[in-house]
Amino acid sequence: METYQPESDIQQPAETEAHEEADRLTIKQFTLDTLETLILAVILFLGINAISARVQVDGTSMRPTLEDGEFILVSKLSYQFGTPERGDIIVFRPLIPGDELIKRVIGLPGDTITIEDGRVYVNGLVLSEPYIAAPPVNVGSWTIPEDHIFVMGDNRNNSQDSRNIGAIPLENVIGKAILIYWPPPEWNIISHTNVAMAAP
């Protein structure tokens, strides 16, 4: 017994071509959308890297302000139209190529830094430093050259800084540390103490 398929159920050549064209357009649109997303992601990645950096604290030289293993967001724009100030926590490239370092700015170009009796003096005025782990036990005096800064770790007695490696050229400064973003429980805006100085 013969059966007949209604004409409405028989796909006509024109309809088949229309479906195939629709499939091609869908694939083309998906490809374009994917490319646009990838391009946007690359632009955002490059843009974010142009204005910021992400670094991990390695060691205990900045205790108690920063802890070993914390991840820090660094603003590269902070010093595009200015220079570091005393009390700023900065990330910089060391004089001898190696990992980037994070320390606090203590002295500016032309300053004389003196350490004695557990105190730090800038141009003869003693610094008030509530952020340090303990008073420094070493002694010494340094005059900061033009276009350089003097940096120290907050953990004064466990820090390789300008006392050992010398003043840091301003051109080596990468940016200003602004935020602890990892681990989440430690998330916090980094406080940049306005270093107070008083008569000795």
Cβ atoms of residues 127 and 111 within 8 Å:
no
End-to-end CA distance of the chain: 115
Q: Which residues are catalytic?
A: 61, 103
- Supply φ then ψ for residue 63, to 5 degrees: -65, 145
Cβ atoms of residues 138 and 163 within 8 Å:
yes
**Separation of alpha carbons 113 and 144, rounded Å:** 8
Preceding peptide of 64 cis, ω within 30°: yes
